[in-house]
């Protein structure tokens, strides 16, 4: 008994492939597999390079990173424990850096406003400002 409907055959007839068509189809499938393999290899390489680049960029410290001064925590702890007197001024220069940096408090008319002039020596000593020492 024939299961195929004659109406279906008329709408969707069974066609034979063109001469050499099956061979060309198989060759095309093999060629597409090679192309896909190359594309996957390229995608894998690009992904690996991007991951490596991201890892390198993440491991580089930011230039704007704020680092605590060495010994700052121990100085604060020593002040809290009463081992060291607190500084007389809110801003001061450590004794080992006084050859390179200077701080001068500038008087203001408002006692709530505190202004400091901070100077750093850049190689050659600069003449002191008029009106006093740093």
- Identify whether 26 is part of a domain: yes
Owning domain of residue 118: 85-125
> Cβ contacts of residue 54 below 8 Å, gap of 6+?
none
pLDDT of residue 71: 57
Hey, is 105 helix, strand or coil? strand
**Integer Cα distance of 66 and 72 in angstroms:** 13
- Identify whether 99 is part of a domain: yes
Q: What angle do CA 98, 123, 115 make, to 5 degrees?
A: 50
pLDDT of residue 50: 92
- Identify whether 18 is part of a domain: yes
- Identify whether 73 is part of a domain: no
- Identify whether 77 is part of a domain: no
- Identify whether 65 is part of a domain: no
Confidence category of residue 1, pLDDT binned at 50, 70, 90: very low
**Integer Cα distance of 10 and 132 in angstroms:** 110
CA distances from residue 67 to 28, 87, 99 in whole angstroms, order as listed: 62, 22, 22
Write down which residue in 59, 76, 93 finishes a domain: 59
Residue 122 pLDDT > 90, yes or no?
no
Instruction: Considering only CA atoms, give the Rg of the chain.
Output: 40
Quote the strand ranges of 10-100, DSSP E: none
Residue 132 pLDDT > 50, yes or no?
no
Confidence category of residue 26, pLDDT binned at 50, 70, 90: confident
CA distances from residue 64 to 25, 27, 71 in whole angstroms, order as listed: 61, 59, 21
- Identify whether 33 is part of a domain: yes
Q: Is the pTM of this model over 0.85?
A: no
Question: Domain count of the chain?
Answer: 2
Write down which residue in 59, 76, 97 finishes a domain: 59
- Identify whether 131 is part of a domain: no
């Amino acid at each position: 008994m024939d299961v195929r409907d004659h109406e279906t055959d008329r709408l969707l007839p069974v066609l034979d492939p063109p001469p050499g068509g099956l061979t060309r189809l198989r060759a095309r499938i093999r060629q597409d597999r090679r192309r896909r393999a190359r594309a996957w290899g390229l995608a894998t390489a690009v992904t690996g390079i991007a991951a490596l680049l991201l890892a390198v960029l993440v491991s580089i410290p930011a230039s704007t990173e704020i680092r605590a001064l060495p010994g700052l925590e121990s100085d604060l702890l020593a002040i809290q424990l009463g081992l060291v007197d607190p500084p007389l001024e809110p801003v001061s220069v450590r004794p080992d850096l006084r050859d390179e940096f200077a701080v001068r408090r500038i008087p203001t008319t408002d006692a709530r406003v505190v202004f400091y002039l901070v100077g750093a020596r850049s190689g050659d000593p600069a003449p002191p400002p008029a009106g006093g020492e740093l």
